[in-house]
């Protein structure tokens, strides 16, 4: 962990947090920020702070990255060290938005204070829910990233045309009198009494995106899509709740802003109207100077993005606590393949999207070793009737005397390896 000699003002009240003012500046200017204290209850209790509302702020969602060789910014006029990933994120955000009020975990939480970290982890869901929006950093350095947005728009445009064409093809048509069946799907019935077969048609073949100008799968534009989903961002566990709980979210890819809805619509159209299987478009590596492992990483990132959207729908639909899908024990399985630098966060990072989080909130403790934390949560799962679900997850990780076999510390070694390698591409 980066060591900073910085004196934080103590937080006030159980819902107290720090916010960060990102000051304006040119690209190469030093980054200056100032912290100030607020209370999340300002949104619901007018008696606090003389009735002043909670300031509008944006939360940052990003990969911390390597903590060696940090970069200096200035916090309240004093030197403060941050990772290169965060420095790059703040610099690009400053160029695009200008001055902004932010919540940034690495700065707004005193990382050297374990007790404060525990309190703030339990506030994370509120911090992201009450933020005006969330900026999610995919990374800075990526070849041909400028091709991604035009590609996504081309997919949507072609998909809309396919939808219109599909509507006009709903009614089955008969075989043309001239016998021309090109472009028609023909199904043959059994032979009739005379021994001849009578063909019927299920209608014209479904429309395809490629018929409406979608770039060929070997086009370099697809490389930009691969690199987007191969970002270490989609390997990180904390992003689940940060994405799911956001009122609105924008991806920052270099200096590009990309909405999740554009990505989602594009993927949907690829599934419905693509000539290839959806995952092929983001894992096909012909003509792309990347390894097969990188293609796997890209495909995994895309699938995780889709899972994030599914989890967000659970929150929108307000699935009740009695529904097992919404409980922490089931979230552990879904988060098993994601990365977390602290093993305890494999549990803590999922509390914000679990309907039964209040049952476990008081047990967040960074002073206890991971093995003790996992045993504590195992006991809680059993006490609350989830012993069978706990056993279903047993044996899915390495064996250790300190860590029980059910714990979600296993991750795909190949994806982890390439996540670490590709992360260097996102460091300035």
pLDDT at 176: 41
CA 141 distance to own-chain centroid: 19
Is the CB of residue 335 less than 8 Å from the CB of residue 349?
yes
Q: How does DSSP classify residue 364?
A: -
Helix or strand or coil: residue 98?
coil
How many angstroms separate the CA atoms of 165 and 243, rounded? 34
In a domain, 326, yes or no: yes
Return the H-helix or E-strand segment holding 229: helix 221-229
Q: Would you say residue 422 lies in a domain?
A: yes
DSSP 236: B
Residue 184 CA to residue 204 CA, distance in Å, equals: 4
Whether the Cβ atoms of residue 255 and residue 92 lie closer than 8 Å to each other: yes
Q: How many CB atoms lie within 10 A of CB 387?
A: 14
- Torsion angle, alpha carbons of 81, 87, 91, 96, to 10: -130
Domain-embedded: residue 375 = yes
- Please report, for residues 80, 186, 353, the alpha-carbon distance to residue 98 in angstroms, rounded to integers and kept in the order given: 21, 60, 32
Q: How many domains does the chain have?
A: 1
Q: What is the pLDDT along the chain (428 residues), one digit of tens a residue?
A: 676 778 899 998 899 999 999 999 988 899 999 999 999 998 765 555 555 688 999 999 999 988 888 999 999 999 999 999 999 999 999 999 989 999 999 999 999 999 999 999 999 999 999 999 999 999 986 677 889 999 999 999 999 999 998 887 654 444 343 344 344 444 444 555 555 555 555 556 778 999 998 998 888 888 889 899 999 999 999 999 999 999 999 999 998 999 999 999 999 999 999 988 777 887 775 555 556 677 888 889 999 999 898 888 877 766 665 667 788 988 888 787 788 888 899 899 999 999 888 999 999 999 999 889 988 998 999 999 988 888 887 766 555 555 666 665 543 333 333 344 444 433 33
Greatest C-alpha distance within the chain: 94
Flag whether 91 is in a domain: no
Is 416 a domain residue?
yes
Q: Answer yes or no: is 110 within a domain.
A: no
Q: 């059994």: which residue's tokens?
A: 190
Both structure tokens of 34: 């100032």
Beta strands in 3-143 (DSSP E): 16-22, 32-39, 58-61, 71-75, 78-82, 100-103, 133-139
pLDDT of amino acid 412: 33
> Whole-angstrom Cα distance, residue 375 to residue 377?
5
In a domain, residue 350? The reply is: yes
> What SS3 class is residue 254?
coil
- CA–CA separation, 400 vs 403, rounded Å? 5
Residue 358 lies inside a defined structural domain of this protein = yes
For residue 417, the enclosing domain spans 322-428
pLDDT of residue 405: 63
Structure tokens at 139: 């990374």
Beta bridge partners of 17: 38
pTM of the predicted protein model: 0.82
Element (H, E) at 188: strand 184-188
CA 213/CA 393 separation, integer angstroms: 46
Using DSSP, state whether 249 is helix, strand or coil.
Answer: strand
- What is the predicted pLDDT for the residue at 66? 87
pLDDT of residue 182: 41
């Amino acid at each position: 962990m980066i060591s900073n000699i910085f004196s934080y003002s103590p937080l006030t009240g159980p819902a107290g947090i720090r916010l960060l003012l990102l000051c304006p500046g040119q690209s190469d200017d030093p980054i200056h920020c100032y912290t100030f204290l607020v209370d999340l209850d300002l949104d619901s209790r007018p008696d606090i702070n003389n009735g002043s509302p909670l300031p509008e702020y944006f939360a940052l969602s990003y990969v911390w990255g390597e903590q060696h060789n940090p970069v200096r910014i200035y916090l309240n006029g004093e030197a403060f060290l941050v990772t290169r990933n965060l420095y790059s994120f703040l610099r690009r955000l400053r160029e695009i938005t200008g001055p902004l009020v932010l919540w940034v975990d690495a700065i707004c939480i005193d990382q050297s204070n374990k007790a404060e970290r525990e309190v703030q982890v339990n506030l994370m869901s509120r911090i992201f829910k009450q933020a005006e929006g969330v900026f999610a950093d995919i990374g800075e350095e990526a070849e041909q990233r400028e091709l991604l947005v035009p590609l996504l728009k081309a997919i949507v445009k072609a998909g809309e045309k396919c939808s219109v064409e599909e509507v006009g093809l709903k009614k089955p048509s008969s075989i043309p009198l001239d016998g021309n069946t090109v472009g028609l799907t023909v199904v043959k019935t059994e032979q009739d009494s005379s021994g001849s077969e009578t063909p019927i048609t299920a209608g014209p073949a479904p429309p395809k995106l490629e018929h409406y100008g979608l770039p060929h799968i070997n086009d370099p534009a697809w490389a930009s899509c691969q690199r987007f989903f191969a970002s270490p961002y989609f390997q990180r566990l904390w992003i689940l709740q940060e994405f799911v709980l956001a009122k609105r979210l924008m991806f920052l890819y270099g200096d590009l802003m990309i909405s999740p809805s554009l990505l989602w619509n594009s993927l949907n159209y690829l599934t419905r109207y693509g000539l290839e299987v959806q995952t092929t478009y983001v894992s096909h590596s012909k003509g792309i100077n990347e390894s097969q492992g990188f293609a796997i990483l890209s495909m995994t990132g895309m699938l995780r993005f889709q899972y994030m959207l599914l989890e967000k729908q659970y929150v929108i639909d307000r699935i009740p606590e009695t529904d097992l899908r919404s409980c922490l024990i089931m979230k552990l399985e879904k988060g098993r393949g994601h990365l977390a630098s602290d093993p305890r966060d494999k549990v803590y990072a999922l509390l914000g999207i679990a309907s039964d989080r209040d049952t476990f909130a008081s047990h967040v403790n960074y002073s206890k070793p991971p093995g003790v934390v996992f045993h504590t949560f195992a006991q809680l799962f059993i006490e609350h009737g989830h012993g069978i679900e706990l056993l279903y997850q047993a044996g899915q990780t390495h064996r250790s005397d300190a860590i029980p076999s059910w714990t979600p510390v296993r991750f795909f070694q190949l994806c982890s390896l390439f996540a670490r390698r590709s992360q260097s591409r996102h460091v300035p």
